[in-house]
Structure formats: C-alpha cells, structure tokens
Amino acid sequence: MPRPLRTCLVCGELCDGARCPKHQRARERLRGSAAARGYDGRYRRLRKEAIDAHIARYGQVCPGYGVLPHTATRAELSVDHIIPLADGGRNDASNFQVICITCNKRKGRAHDVAVDRRVSIGTAPKPTPKKFLIG
C-alpha cells in the first residue's frame, strides 16, 4: 500500500518524503558525506564508549525526547549531539547524550523543521543546548 503524500517541510508542496525533490537535493548537497560532517572513526569509537558507559550506569533505558523514559535494546541506543555538529557542536563526550534511535530521529526532525523555517525567512539557526538526564 503506498504511503500517503506529505507536505514539504520547506515549501509545502505535496511529495512522497519530508521534502520535495528540489529541496531534498539542496539539503543533500549542503550536508556532504558522513565523514565530512564529522562521523569518522574517532566518532564511532567515542559513540561506543558513551553507550557502554550509559548502559553501565542506567541500564538499557532511554531518557526520552518528548516522551517519558523507556527501555530500549542495546542496538536501539544511539548517541545524540546535544548541540548538533551542523550548529557548531563538537564530537566530544560532553556534547553527547545517549537516547534511542526513535527519540534521536524525533529530535532531529524537530531541529530540521526549525532550521528549514529559519532558512526560509532568512535568519541563521542558533544552537539550543539541552541536556536530558535521568535522575
């Protein structure tokens, strides 16, 4: 069964994904490769260490983003940048929080919508540092 059409996050045109083909191509050109964005071997090592430390301290619990804390499998836990790399954040343990993939995507979508809206009205995105901790 085909997915229902959605409106482009930038222009409001109906499309299959989150953005129309024109705005999706523009976004991909701006993003660059994963390594160019800072997700290299060093990041992967730090990510594993952060997840291991989180599990040792809290178990397999996601503190949630926009939802209450909940359990997640080890494979579902991911590292989120509190201040996104695109907004000047760093690949550093002090800028990491461990949340599940679903919460990470929820936070990313909220950030993308905010950035797309700011870009469309001509103001630059600003970092919004937030740390979600358990107990």
pLDDT digits (tens, 9 = 90+) for 31-72: 788 888 888 999 999 999 999 999 999 999 999 998 999 999
- pLDDT over threshold 60, residue 129: no
- pLDDT over threshold 80, residue 121: no
**pLDDT given at position 135:** 45
Q: Which amino acid is at 37?
A: R
pLDDT digits (tens, 9 = 90+) for 88-104: 899 999 999 999 999 99
Q: Is residue 89 left, alpha or beta, with left meaning phi > 0 and alpha meaning psi from -120 to 50?
A: beta
The residue among 104 and 1 whose pLDDT is bigger is 104
Residue 13 and residue 24 in contact, taking contact as beta carbons nearer than 8 Å: no
Distances (CA, A) of 35 to 39, 67, 85, 133: 5, 31, 12, 28
